[in-house]
Amino acid sequence: MSMLGIKWKLHGTGKTIKPGQVVAPDERLAWPLTIGVGMQHVVAMFGATFLVPIITGMPPATTLFFSGIGTLLFLVITKGRVPSYLGSSFAFIAPITASQAQFGIPGALGGVVLAGATLALVGAVVQKFGAGWINRLMPPIVTGAIVALIGLNLAPAAKQNFDAAPITALVTLVTIILVSVLFRGILGRLSILVGVVVGYLVAMLRGEVKYDKMDAAAWIGLPHFQTPEFHIGVLGLFVPVVLVLVAENIGHVKSVAAMTGQNLDGVSGRALMADGAATVLAGFGGGSGTTTYAENIGVMAATKVYSTAAYWVAGMFAILLSFSPKFGELIATVPAGVLGGAATMLYGMIGILGVKIWVQSKVNFSNPVNLTTAAVALIIGIADYTWTIGDLKFTGIALGSAAALVIYHGMKAIAKARGTVAEPETEQGVLPPAVKSALNAAAKRAPKKR
């Protein structure tokens, strides 16, 4: 049982958490409380996980099924040391949408499988040799640029849905914004879900919701499974996603380690392998690619419960919900206007997460290597540059990601050989050059003491 991570100690009496304490991953509260926390995790991941299949046209119930299965698989592979829910990754939206236009849903699923397999391979290497080489290959300037351009590349898709029903989209967006600042705790963290619900109600009043498929669906039944097809043309679309998933997973492990006070570096590779395996499984059955969810970190921070027992509950509850075709079709009725409002926020958030990586890592943009890496990569990604070589078609995300890696490492190597870059890559806690110059000038103008 302990090898599977399903042997938990009771935390205290199982009914309370003393101030300053947390429920560790290998602990649990009394089962009624644990079940309650687990269901709260399902609510937290719900809005974001369902938005991906709705936007990409994938079956929502199938995606929910594989998110539950993937979560349980993740807990087993990490031996219950990393509490996490594996929900739909927004990084897959752009490549799935682009590959569907060329190869259909089976081709997109093939890309999901390839991305998952690559991520699992990276995880195996990390588990064997450590994560230091990832930090050298993808320093913060590169990671931030790739995350940012993936979000900003989706801006036209958000606008297209927004334009389909501007009033509904605006209500959805304004609700998300207001809820995030009006409410504290879990409700504030579920602003996107609340916004979607409010937008959906407005869409109903405006006659924008169609229930034909939901009415015809059965209450109980299997999710709609599909098989993948493999085309070399999807490689350029999906490989950059792996870089984002690596950053998300390692960031998640570090966040949990900081909150629980445990050293989890030894399971970083297992976390990557687990997410990769879950994504492969989803791709083979018709689901979307998965990733560790920040939404659920918010639940853990609010409840102080990091028990993996709650995630077992969440995973099993998600699987149960997926066996209602009517429920899945209900989710699929979310109209374009609601998606446009939510996507405006979501895609922008992905872009800003890249900027957040730069800020937290104190990336120095006075350094021309950093400045050029970010500038070129972002424009390629936002404008969606394309490059076709035979059957291979590389779009903005792939080209932008490649540009970030090549420009950074290429310029750094040349600058080192020539000794031409004096600025450090990160801020060193000193004043920016412009501020220092202004202060020096002011000091010169000040009257001297006699």
pLDDT in tens, 46-94: 767 877 888 888 888 899 999 999 999 999 999 888 888 998 887 888 8
What pLDDT, on a 0 to 100 scale, did the predictor assign at position 442?
Answer: 54
Mean pLDDT, range 342-358, rounded to an integer: 81
Q: In terms of pTM, does the model score above 0.75? A: no
Task: Give the helix ranges, DSSP H, for 138-234.
Answer: 140-153, 155-164, 166-182, 185-189, 191-205, 212-216
407 contacts 149 by C-beta, under 8 angstroms: no
Question: pLDDT per residue over 12-45, tens digit each?
Answer: 888 887 877 888 888 888 888 888 888 878 876 7
For tokens 């046209």, name the residue. Answer: 57
At 370-385, the pLDDT tens digits run 999 999 999 998 998 8
In this structure, are residues 37 and 29 in contact, taking their beta carbons and an 8 Å threshold? yes
- Indicate whether 98 pLDDT > 90: no
CA distance 200 to 170: 12
Q: How confident is the model at residue 449 (pLDDT cuts 50, 70, 90)?
A: very low
- Residue 443, pLDDT > 70, answer no
Q: Is pLDDT at 174 greater than 90 in this prediction?
A: yes
The mean predicted confidence, pLDDT, of the chain is 83
